[in-house]
Amino acid sequence: MNRSRVLKGIGVSPGLAVGTAYTISAEGPDVTDRVIAPECLDDEVQRLHNTIAEVRTHLEELRERTRERAGAEEAKIFDAQILMLEDQEFLGEVEGLIRGHQLNAESAFEFKMLEMRDLWSHSTSGTLRQRVADLSGVQVRVLHRLLGDAVMPAGPERGTTPVIVFTNELTPGLTVQFEKDHVAGFVSEQGTRTAHAAILARSLGIPCIMGLVGGLDEIDAGTNVVVDGTRGVVILDPTDEEIEELRDRERTRLALEHELEEAVGQPAVTRDGQAMTLRGNIDLVEDVETAAEHGAEGVGLLRTELLIVGRTELPSEDEQLRFFERIAGRLPDFPIVVRTYDLGGDKFPAPFKVAPENNPFLGWRAIRVCLDHPELFRSQIRAVLRARASADVQLMLPLVTQVEEVTRTRSLVQECAADLRREGVEAADDVPIGAMIETPAAAMMIDLLADHCDFLSVGTNDLTQYSLVVDRGNAQLAKRFTSFHPAVVRLLARIVTDAKRMGLDVTVCGEMAAEPLAAFMLMGLGYRILSVSPGRLPLVRWIVRQIDTQAAEAAVDGLADAQTALDVTQHLRERVAEHIDLDLLELGRLPVMDSEATFNV
């Protein structure tokens, strides 16, 4: 292919789309400041509130349309936008600008929205940064309506040829505005896989690419294009041969996807009869629905930071309890492992006033923060104990490096349980406590931790980061960050060996476990519980069913002399290829890692 005709972004919704390019600017209209006469200020404020009500009605209609086309969970995406329009504090500030500075409604609203957008864009909370597109969607709709336009600009007219919509920022509203038989694909300059619009595109089955920086400058309206949402590739003016090649790839991907769907209903048992336990890593309540549908045997990692980061006040004990109960209610027969607040580094809630640290990832974070703020920790422990009264909820401590961190937590658990008994609140008397093995220090003292822990869990990203002294977020060091480094492999081997010797279950809850070579290696090392993001569960189950455990163990034995990450991956590729068609995985775009691979936890 002529590389000048190939543009690369991030594939966020798989599939192949062929059509003509249609560009839409999702930017708001130009706003002109006007001075409002004092006697007209009440009318201007009323105009603002009338417009807010109209846009809210429009969003409610979009929510209903999304419910019909994509489902109830996807429709909840618009709840966030509707809540923005119901924020009385925010609307009060807009009204204050109108009255205090005699600004017209559109100028006042735009000023406050840009202020909020800047705050969210620079937030340490990844969740808030991912919601900037929701904010933009609200801003554009309100401004258009204030200026007398339609709530959103009109889209392409229906024709015989499907169109590919190119935009600077794809919003949820734009995603559901068009029918699938009319708009074949989306391409956005901004956005990531976790953006609400990306989630909607996947639910609707529309191929979508985000992060195509400068894409609008490269595209002329009416250009014939192909969008490969699986690989994140856009081809301009494709030839018939190129289209057929991509369609062959897409047929392969769909065939493999069908195999993965069939695997969901089958046991996670290897060819030689070794059973594996597969669990899900969960951030949000909606994630557990996917985990349950994909056969998760519990939650191996329930992240709790989103309950607290980006908020102006700390969550109540009852709010946390409801969160845990909703998760446990969807997987009632399995364990729910709650990771205590993993704060610090790049994640702190607004109520915390924290002095800057030179090395925040080596500083005050995770279990250290919780133990130094027992009032915060007690609320979470009490909620866990109350949830455990009716479900198998367990507690897991991140970044443990000292035995005292576990013993101090146990003391707090006992104190909280006693307080709950005195208060007559239904709660468990105790809760299983586990330590996350994320540092060489923890890996080297499994025997000491075993006297105080009920289980262990390996966080592969931090274990790699701290073992190799490589900042996993540093692009310059990306090639050095690999969990296939011989030192990391040896630590993983030691952890599972020592855990078994001490009679402890040990889970790998890093996304490393969702990659074919790594899953094969982990099984060969002796790990029998893997926890990955819900969407990766079908792949892991399928991999398990293709593998012979004895072959995996023999392959791991062959890593003893490996000196580099490349040695490790080449050896594993050769051994995995005896069980799995790697070309099939590559065509299906299921990642088969090389020595430069990184993983997300």
**CA–CA gap between residue 154 and residue 512 (Å, rounded):** 44
Question: What distance in Å separates the CA atoms of residue 285 and residue 74, rounded to the nearest whole number?
Answer: 12
Give the whole-angstrom CA distance, residue 119 versus residue 150. 28
Q: In what order do the strands lie in the sheet with 163-167?
A: 6-8, 233-236, 224-228, 16-24, 163-167, 183-188, 208-210, 10-13
Annotated catalytic residue within 453, 509, 571, 579: 509
The catalytically annotated residue of 196, 294, 485, 579 is: 196
SS3 state at 156: coil
Longest dimension (CA), the chain: 85
- How many degrees, rounded to 5, is the angle at CA 408 between CA 403 and CA 414? 130
Look up 509 and say whether it is catalytic: yes
Q: What does the alpha-carbon distance between residue 517 and residue 567 come to, in Å, rounded to a whole number?
A: 13
Q: In 459-561, where do the E strands start and end? A: 505-508, 529-532
Q: Which two tokens stand for residue 571?
A: 């050896």
Q: Who's near 597: CB < 8 A, 6+ residues apart?
A: 482, 483, 484, 515, 569, 591
Are 102 and 44 in contact by the 8 Å Cβ rule? The answer is: no
| Angstrom distance (rounded) from CA 225 to CA 237 | 6
Number of Cβ within a 10 Å radius of residue 273: 8
Determine contact, residues 59/83, Cβ cutoff 8 Å: no
Beta partners for residue 8, in sequence order? 233
Measuring CA to CA, which residue among 438, 196, 471, 480 is closest to residue 346?
A: 471
Concatenated DSSP letters of 452-473: T-SEEEE-HHHHHHHHHT--TT
Which amino acid does the sequence have at 421? R
What is the C-alpha separation between 437 and 458, in angstroms, rounded? Answer: 5
Residues 233 and 222: their CA atoms lie apart, in Å, by: 18
Annotated catalytic sites, by residue? 196, 509
